[in-house]
């Protein structure tokens, strides 16, 4: 037996607009709250509360954290079950209103069918209101209920309601939200929450509860079959492909396609909790037996025969940035979409969005809570759909590769055409052939350290020593590269990330030509160096830390950079105005203050360590 339809609701809006009171009243007056919790809400009072003892303080029914009760604010998303008069169930996510907790609100909106956006009638529409409305639209919420709250504080004035409805209508139209219902409300007095207001007789529309119940739980792309494979179930005489059906419906006899490879199989059995089924629909955990037994693994996506999406490795996407550190193009993150986890590089920040007027502004970075459009490249083709087609296989999060923090929620707009227009050609004369001709293996030696630490000096001497032994080499020096290929880049963290990315790609190409590449680059951030390392196979990348104290580098100051930094002319010099993150586990550490010959010998030994060079 299929479960009853569930409506997912996100309640959002600016801080102190009255979300908790509105949700609390919905819960209390629909019998969705245990009696002991109601008793507590009648007897406990926050400091400064004006609600008489014996009456219910509805806001206390949703604030689960002690800090929330003390401050009278919502910090984390709280989920509450709401019993609807029709017998359907709803889950309300009470999202924080503070700007600093916008990331929590975005997470709640990502699974919502309906949004209840609360606006304080006295304060009107605020920037955070627009931000929440924009995030709801980006997250694919198709039904938004605007609850204009606290009408009792403005004398139930219809003009106030009309003005706010007009303010929000333009933004909703611009964001192309299909269904918007504006309801005048007094959550404290109960007007138009459950029952119609006897005071605002000028309003003839539905109440908040009626609006929620009338909302369809449909979502875009529900007709397209998408099954992200979670696991393979094996038993004697049985091999099933299991996961939660993200969208569409599947019946016995339907054909399914592995989106990454195009292999097709027929569903011969649907094993389900409680017995076999003939048909399953979106949201149900299923296990399909397929004929023939095609190669399917966790991370693959099974799609309907008529809705095959072509895997791609370059995408345009809208994101909500949640990281404390700004998003920088050129930096690598992990993209997570269902069972898919793949390294991804943000190749461009196209624009950031002004949430109040919808204007697109030029940007190279996105900071906390900003919304923008990016382009990104995955390290292998993945079957991501446009978000408008499927929120389940078109929505993703970005994860910082060092801290493992979730730094962004994103929605794929489309796969870039150049993704399918570019195909790597396998030449017969490859790296192995060149290495045999050269008589040694290729390798990349990445020297990192502060400016003036001695990287270029050591690289220069090491190249001479290797050259004398017949090893084909080349040095990619930071300043030399910036005078040509990277002359368009500055020294901000995002430009440094792009600088490292380009140099690493060039080093990889040169290594493919069969030479030993010595890179002398400050490359101050660990994440950027790790991204560079990830381009290479194990053993092909040797990180060398040229360890020289900052004071020594300052004294040397061979390029006059430290003098400029002291004079305020160079604010982003590593180690002075910008952090330098020394390697935690480099293959080699050499002293920049000791005998240069010994450092050179160590680098040469690292190159020759395999005995093949």
- CA diameter of the chain: 95
393: which 2 tokens?
A: 């296989």
**Can you give the pLDDT at residue 70?**
56
**Can you give the pLDDT at residue 220?**
47
| Count of C-beta atoms within a 10 Å radius of residue 97 | 25
pLDDT in tens, 198-232: 999 999 999 999 999 887 655 444 567 888 888 88
- CA–CA separation, 131 and 121 (whole Å): 18
Max mean pLDDT range (10-19, 194-203, 390-399): 194-203
- CA–CA separation, 83 and 88 (whole Å): 7
- CA–CA separation, 352 and 320 (whole Å): 10
Alpha-carbon torsion (56, 61, 62, 64), positive or negative: positive
Using a pLDDT cut of 90, give the percent of the chain over it.
35
The mean pLDDT value for 96-103 works out to 73
Q: Is the pLDDT of residue 14 over 80?
A: yes
Q: Is the pLDDT of residue 115 over 60?
A: yes
**Can you give the pLDDT at residue 515?**
95
Q: How confident is the model at residue 174 (pLDDT cuts 50, 70, 90)?
A: confident
Is the Cβ–Cβ distance between 370 and 131 less than 8 Å?
A: no
User: Worst-scoring range by mean pLDDT, 35-49, 52-66, 259-273, 462-476?
Assistant: 52-66
Q: Which residues pair with 334 in a beta bridge?
A: 343, 399
Q: Is the pLDDT of residue 533 over 70?
A: yes
The mean pLDDT value for 166-184 works out to 89
Is the Cβ–Cβ distance between 556 and 483 less than 8 Å?
A: no
**Can you give the pLDDT at residue 226?**
84
> Of these residues, 523, 527, 599, 613, which one is catalytic?
523
This prediction has a pTM of: 0.65
For residue 179, give the nearest of 212, 202, 201 by alpha carbon. Answer: 212
**Can you give the pLDDT at residue 581?**
94
User: Worst-scoring range by mean pLDDT, 50-64, 425-439, 494-508, 586-600?
Assistant: 50-64
Q: How confident is the model at residue 248 (pLDDT cuts 50, 70, 90)?
A: confident
- CA–CA separation, 194 and 206 (whole Å): 10
**Can you give the pLDDT at residue 587?**
95
Q: How confident is the model at residue 611 (pLDDT cuts 50, 70, 90)?
A: very low
Q: Which residues pair with 398 in a beta bridge?
A: 335, 408
Average per-residue pLDDT for the chain:
85
Q: Is the pLDDT of residue 324 over 50?
A: yes
Kindly report the CA angle at 460 between 484 and 554, in degrees rounded to 5? 80
347: which 2 tokens?
A: 């190749």
- CA–CA separation, 256 and 166 (whole Å): 47
- CA–CA separation, 78 and 82 (whole Å): 13
The mean pLDDT value for 7-14 works out to 89
Which residues does 370 contact at the CB level (< 8 Å), separation at least 6?
A: 320, 321, 352, 353, 363
The mean pLDDT value for 74-99 works out to 79
Which residues does 393 contact at the CB level (< 8 Å), separation at least 6?
A: 226, 228, 246, 247, 301, 309, 337, 338, 383, 384, 385
269 φ/ψ angles, rounded to the nearest 5 degrees: -160, 140
**Can you give the pLDDT at residue 71?**
55
**Can you give the pLDDT at residue 292?**
87
| Count of C-beta atoms within a 10 Å radius of residue 51 | 17
**Can you give the pLDDT at residue 391?**
76
User: Which of helix, strand or coil describes residue 13?
Assistant: strand
The mean pLDDT value for 446-472 works out to 95
- CA–CA separation, 202 and 158 (whole Å): 8
Using a pLDDT cut of 70, give the percent of the chain over it.
92
| Count of C-beta atoms within a 10 Å radius of residue 430 | 11
Is the Cβ–Cβ distance between 594 and 538 less than 8 Å?
A: no
Which residues does 181 contact at the CB level (< 8 Å), separation at least 6?
A: 143, 144, 145, 146, 205, 206, 211
Is the Cβ–Cβ distance between 268 and 289 less than 8 Å?
A: yes
Whether 523 is catalytic: yes
**Can you give the pLDDT at residue 612?**
47
């Amino acid at each position: 037996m299929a479960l009853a339809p569930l409506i997912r609701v996100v309640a959002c809006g600016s801080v102190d607009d009255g979300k908790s009171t509105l949700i609390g009243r919905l819960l209390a007056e629909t019998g969705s709250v245990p009696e002991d919790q109601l008793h507590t809400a009648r007897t406990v009072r926050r400091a400064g509360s004006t609600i008489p003892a014996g009456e219910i303080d509805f806001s206390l029914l949703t604030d689960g954290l002690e800090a929330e009760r003390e401050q009278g604010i919502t910090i984390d998303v709280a989920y509450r079950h709401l019993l609807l008069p029709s017998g359907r169930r709803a889950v309300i996510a009470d999202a924080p209103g503070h700007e600093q907790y916008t990331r929590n609100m975005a997470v709640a909106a990502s699974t919502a069918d309906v949004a209840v956006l609360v606006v304080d009638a006295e304060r009107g529409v605020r920037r955070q209101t627009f931000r929440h409305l924009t995030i709801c639209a980006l997250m694919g919420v198709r039904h938004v209920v605007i609850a204009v709250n606290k009408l009792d504080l403005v004398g139930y004035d219809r003009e106030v309601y009309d003005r706010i409805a007009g303010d929000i209508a333009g933004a909703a139209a611009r964001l192309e939200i299909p269904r918007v219902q504006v309801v005048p409300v007094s959550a404290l007095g109960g007007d138009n929450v459950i029952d119609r207001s006897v005071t605002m007789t000028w309003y003839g529309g539905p109440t908040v509860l009626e609006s929620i119940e009338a909302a369809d739980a449909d979502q875009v792309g529900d007709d397209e079959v998408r099954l992200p494979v979670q696991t393979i179930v094996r038993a004697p005489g049985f091999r099933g492909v299991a996961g939660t059906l993200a969208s569409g419906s599947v019946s016995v006899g339907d054909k399914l396609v592995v989106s990454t490879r195009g292999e097709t199989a027929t569903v011969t059995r649907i094993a389900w909790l409680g017995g076999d089924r003939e048909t399953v629909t979106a949201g149900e955990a299923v296990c399909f037996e397929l004929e023939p037994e095609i190669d399917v693994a966790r991370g693959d996506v099974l799609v309907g025969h008529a809705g095959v999406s072509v895997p791609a490795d370059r995408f345009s996407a809208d994101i909500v940035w949640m990281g404390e550190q700004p998003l920088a193009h050129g930096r690598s993150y992990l993209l997570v979409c269902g069972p898919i986890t793949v390294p991804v590089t943000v190749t461009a920040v196209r624009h950031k969005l002004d949430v109040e007027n919808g204007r697109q502004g030029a940007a190279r970075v996105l900071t906390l809570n900003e919304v923008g459009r990016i382009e990104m490249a995955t390290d292998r083709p993945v079957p991501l759909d446009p978000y408008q087609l499927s929120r389940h296989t078109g929505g993703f999060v970005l994860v910082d590769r060092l801290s493992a923090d979730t730094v962004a929620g994103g929605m794929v707009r489309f796969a870039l055409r150049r993704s399918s227009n570019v195909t790597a050609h396998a030449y017969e004369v490859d790296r192995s052939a060149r290495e045999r001709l050269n008589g040694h293996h290729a390798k990349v030696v990445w020297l990192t350290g502060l400016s003036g630490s001695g990287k270029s000096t050591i690289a220069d001497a090491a190249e001479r020593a290797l050259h004398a032994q017949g090893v084909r080499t080349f040095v990619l020096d930071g300043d030399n590269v910036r005078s040509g290929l990277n002359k368009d880049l500055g020294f901000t963290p995002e430009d440094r990330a792009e600088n490292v990315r380009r140099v690493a790609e060039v080093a990889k190409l040169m290594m493919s030509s069969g030479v030993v590449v010595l890179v002398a680059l400050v490359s101050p951030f660990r994440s950027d160096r790790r991204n560079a390392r990830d381009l290479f196979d194990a053993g092909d990348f040797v990180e060398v830390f040229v360890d020289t104290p900052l004071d020594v580098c300052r004294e040397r100051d061979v390029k006059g950079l430290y003098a400029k930094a002291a004079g305020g002319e160079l604010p982003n010099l590593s180690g002075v105005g910008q952090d330098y993150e020394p390697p935690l586990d480099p293959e080699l550490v050499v002293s920049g203050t000791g005998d240069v010959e010994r450092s050179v010998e160590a680098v040469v030994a690292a190159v020759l360590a395999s005995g093949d060079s």
